[in-house]
Amino acid sequence: MTTIKSRSIAFLGTGLMGAPMARRLLHAGFAVTVWNRNHAKAQELAGDGAVVADTPAAAVEGASVVFTMLTDGTAVEDVLFKQGAAEALDTGAVVIDSSSIAPDAAREHSSKLAERGIAHLDAPVSGGVVGAAAGTLAIMAGGDAKLIEELADVFAPLGRVTHVGPSGCGQLAKLGNQQIVAITIGAVAEAMLLVEAGGGSREAFRRAIRGGFAESRILDVHGQRMVDRDFGTAGPSKLQLKDLNNIVATAESLALALPLTQAVRAEFAEFVGRGGGETDHSGLLLQLEEKNFRSSKG
């Protein structure tokens, strides 16, 4: 039987990523209380031993560590400061925000929590639902390095944590990750279009370049989805667009020109605008096909 560990954890947001992360913590022996806007999604974790709370404030009462895994910065702001979670937290508690939000928002949340004697880490993750379930997430943490070390037992069931700098730098690292993901998805999709338009097989093309300089996790997973035309909803394009919008806004604040990011953002914006928001971001192939078919018909 799993031993219950001393830390008490609250997990706010048990959607696609949050649920498997909370489940990993439960199976590692932590006492975990969960909350989700959709109560049914939180209730699914009761069978794994989670206590299900009706409100964010109720979930965090007595917790020493609180994870948030929510849609965006507005949702994090609402749950922490408008729905009473921050007020219900004990002094000395730690909030670990694993949501993907703007760096400025992360720094603002950290400052507001510090006024209440509550520590904060921005620790977004990469690895998708598969990585969350397997405990192999890449965790990019901004904040106090010593605190991250002290929480090694909490991060261990989830994946590999790396301290990347002060508050907000975890979110900056995640934005960089999402830049690479989006641009690489676009590159793979365009290459497949090129090969197929010239009479080749996209499936054979993918096999042929495996192991070469173009090898990547994107080519492996998303390339296979493009070959199979089975995109699903694992990484919704609307969330990829949200990240790209945050990247562009952050770049503008730093007086940076990011032309590749701007180009792929424009394609995702059009794809989401045409109804592809829930489609996995590998579905950008559909957007590029549509653009090319329209051009050929025009």
pLDDT of residue 6: 77
Distance in angstroms (rounded) separating the CA atoms of residues 182 and 260: 10
CATH fit for domain 8-166, picks 3.40.50.720, 2.130.10.10, 2.160.20.70, 3.40.50.300:
3.40.50.720
CB count, 10 Å around CB of 51? Answer: 16
**What does the pLDDT average to over 113-129?**
96
Report residue 36's pLDDT band, with 50, 70 and 90 as the boundaries: very high
pTM, two decimals, is 0.88
Q: Calculate ∠ Cα 193-199-205, nearest 5°.
A: 60
DSSP state of 32: E
Judged against a pLDDT cut of 60, whether residue 288 lies above it is answered with yes
Distance in angstroms (rounded) separating the CA atoms of residues 95 and 140: 15
Query: Taking the mean position of all CA atoms in its chain, how far away is CA 210?
Result: 26
| pLDDT, tens only, 235-287 | 899 999 999 999 999 999 999 999 999 999 999 999 999 999 999 999 999 99
Judged against a pLDDT cut of 70, whether residue 297 lies above it is answered with no
Domain with CATH 3.40.50.720 in the chain: 8-166
Instruction: Find the catalytic residue in 41, 174, 291, 297.
Output: 174
pLDDT of residue 234: 86
Distance in angstroms (rounded) separating the CA atoms of residues 12 and 103: 20
**174 given a catalytic annotation:** yes
Judged against a pLDDT cut of 90, whether residue 296 lies above it is answered with no
- Across the chain, mean pLDDT equals 95
Domain with CATH 1.10.1040.10 in the chain: 172-297
Tell me which residue has tokens 């045409």.
274
pLDDT of residue 62: 96
CATH code for 172-297?
1.10.1040.10
pLDDT of residue 155: 98
Picking from 21, 297, 261, the residue whose alpha carbon sits closest to that of residue 134 is: 21
pLDDT of residue 293: 83
pLDDT of residue 1: 34
